[in-house]
Amino acid sequence: MGLSPKTSEKIAFSLLILATLTVTGFVLIILAYIILNGYGAISIEFLTQMPNRMMTAGGIYPAIVGTIALITGSMLVALPVGIMAAIYLNEYAGESRTTWLIEMAINNLAGTPSVVFGLFGLALFVKYFGFGPSILSASLTLALLILPVIIRATEEALLTVPNEYRESSLALGVSKWQTIRYAVLPAAIPGVVTGSVLSIGRVAGETAPILFTGAVYFLPRMPDSIYSQFMALPYHLFVLSTAGTNVSETRPIQYGTALVLLIIVLGLNLVAVLIRRHYRNKLKI
């Protein structure tokens, strides 16, 4: 005799709660571990000073600025291109073999290892276009890396917009682009912001792409243009914990760097969440 529907529902609900608590528990453990080990390294000097003595002393200010520059540069390129591509695929392109091939290409790019993007960025932006190892080359490479995520998230957000929005607008004699611009996109913004949040987190934490396109371990000065090499928190943390000088002595700096990176990502995510909530509240009005 099988389980009753009510019993099955209770079991399923219990398993869902258990899975949620397990994931939440692991996240809290990781956060607590990083915070407890990195809190002691955080100070005004650590956040605002240049590194010195091959990063065994001093601060990580250039790495913070470099990371923010990468996030800003890559999002400035990937966000408009990704949104426009998603609008075309969802609103203009019909079902055809060409559209299917484009969708397959996007899916394949989403699953491509980041190191492949790094090698591609090295060949295309650093060598072919002659940008050299620089913020520009790294930002463009990271933009390509997150482009599939933004396209997919925007497509899904557009699909959730009821067709009544489009039909009502078109019935009033409004053009298709104006319908998309003023009726469809505002309703899809919460989903677009969700894709942006995921992209920001990935850009901030990637090491392989920037390793090939311009990041350096020790650079005790600020980049003076987008064509300059730069320090970045993920690469800096990677070298400190694997191949840096005096790995054991720099352990507090490692955890401090990880904590700063975590704070930056969480802060940007919080801003994105507030933007998403703002637009959701506007849609309810």
Joined tokens for residue 139: 């930002």
- What average pLDDT does the chain have? 86
Residue burial 259-274, b: 16+ Cβ < 10 Å; e: rest: bbbbebbeebbeebee
- Grade residue 22 by pLDDT with cuts at 50, 70 and 90: very high
Main-chain phi, psi angles of 232, to 5 degrees:
-145, 145
pLDDT per residue over 58-101, tens digit each? 788 898 999 999 999 999 999 999 999 999 988 888 777 888 88
For 49-107, strand residue ranges (E) read 51-52, 57-58
Residue burial 172-187, b: 16+ Cβ < 10 Å; e: rest: eebeeeebbeebbbeb
Query: Given this model, what pLDDT does residue 146 score?
Result: 92
Residue 236 CB neighbours (<10 A): 29
Percent of the chain scoring above 90 in pLDDT? 29
Fold of 69-284: MetI-like fold (1.10.3720)
In one-letter notation, the amino acid at residue 1 is M
**Residue 204: pLDDT band with limits 50, 70, 90:** confident
What is the structure's pLDDT at 129?
A: 93
Domain chopping of the chain, boundaries: 69-284
Q: What tokens were used for 212?
A: 């090939």
Instruction: Give the CA distances from residue 136 to residues 120, 237, 268, in Å, rounded to whole numbers and listed in that order.
Output: 14, 21, 21
- List the single range of 31-35, 131-135, 196-200, 210-214 with lowest mean pLDDT: 196-200
Mean pLDDT of 258-284: 80
How confident is the model at residue 142, as a pLDDT? 94
